[in-house]
Structure 1
């Protein structure tokens, strides 16, 4: 158990609390079966021999829980904020980063919202960058393929029929929707961040799994690529308070955080 927890921490910075180590065995059971291994000890040996197995193990340990329009009120607030920023910036193209996008439901939800707005108003679509540390998750996100269970979680039937095609038992996002998003693999702790400045950064339910020093590092890194006054969206159980001076609670959008302008 300890060796696998260490692997996860080295690759992603994430830590599993001692009272959640049961999740390691639960998460890795399918991988043990696929690799025809009898125990976690056998898996540790396989990880040491094969970088590919190490990648598969880390991917299996990551929590990829997500859904379309998760916390719908937050997604709608982001859309409202983008409309305000667009109006205040005289039509400049808005840039959004979905950090820790899992298998793609969050950026696809945003892409749907903005595409529907464009059909009603003549506006430039925002640039949407979506990143995750897991290449396996990104393969699924780029394919835009979801099971019937996944597609029903948070996605109204009207949007499902408009933006997805049924292929067998799965539903696949239309290519014109997926093309609105630039997916890339990225480790928030160590990899170079996307070039340019963002108006909105969403990083929901990622910091929860990081120790305090790495949370601070990630927040300070976000501050280097967000516009002054830009918005940071965290999960319901996450906060910047006591962790960084680069962001503060937004007075305009409850529950969101805005970038503090750098002192001259």
Structure 2
């Protein structure tokens, strides 16, 4: 009889041991998850490429609002606070620089000058100029985490705020015989409403650190001053075109690192 009960006894003992071990492991996982859930604040630092879209990257001189912008580079820093579950409120600051496509703009100006004066012996020079934009945005995001470990997630975000835009100060000098034509797009500083829609892919490296890859669209309507043409030589005059609006729009692709606390 004792032999018959020994296997049953040891089986029960083994099952009890496994149960306690499993409960301890589950408790540790729950403690880890609860510790992870208790981290409500985070700061983010990143960098990205800003690929111009629409009129911002257009090289069509027939459109006064063409931006002649090349692909730019930006840096950003942000703060996030999780208010409920996976819903967060965010604040973000970005600084973006886009160079002007001088080669395209120079060829357009030379063509226009040639048509106006009927000459082809034209030499031109230019001064380097850039679009500079500072964005201060706020909004919301929602985090989706996948799998049991919840290390991989998606985070769509919607932000709006202000853009401090510095339009490029472009100067072209065209020399024809004893006349110098100078075409200038005067730099202007102004604030404009801006918005950004983005999708982030987040990967947790630990409870407090995560890497993020993001794809977004950002746009702002800035004011710019039209072309001012000055001719020096026997006769001099100047002409200023009215101000116009230009949409500073670009697709943002980048990555960053985030620390939670």
Shorter-chain-normalised TM-score: which range?
Answer: under 0.3
More helix by share: 1
TM-score, normalised via structure 2 length: 0.22
Q: Looking at CA atoms only, which structure, 1 or 2, has the larger radius of gyration?
A: 2
